[in-house]
Amino acid sequence: MPKRDQEIALLREELEMLMGERQALLRVAGASAVLIASLDSKRLPVGAIESADLVATTINDLQEETLQDALAAVHAEIEEDSAAA
């Protein structure tokens, strides 16, 4: 196999691996978003509030398209706030 073909094959493998990792991370982010959205912060143990806030802040920092991809990866949707309508 010529060197160029080897390089292309290696790049293709690396890209496929990265896309697989992206899908796994999207599932984690999507599941985390669903979990955070379903929590009642008043009922969380004090020790969990800081962690939940960190997860929520991180999710809120995602670009809208990435968040939509993450939710789609776990077959979830963002419910529209009735006050926003």
Residue 55 counted as domain residue: yes
pLDDT at 84: 41
Which residues span the domain enclosing 13? Answer: 3-76
pLDDT at 77: 74
Q: Are 76 and 30 in contact (CB under 8 A)?
A: yes
Q: Are 32 and 59 in contact (CB under 8 A)?
A: yes
Alpha-carbon span 85 to 75, nearest angstrom: 24
Tell me how many domains the chain contains. 1
Q: At what angle do helices 64-73 and 3-38 cross, to 10 degrees?
A: 80
Tell me: the pLDDT tens digits for 34-65? 999 999 989 999 889 999 999 999 999 999 99
Residue 83 counted as domain residue: no
Alpha-carbon span 34 to 25, nearest angstrom: 14
**Global pTM?**
0.79
Residue 37 counted as domain residue: yes
Residue 21 counted as domain residue: yes
Whether the per-residue pLDDT at 85 is higher than 70: the answer is no
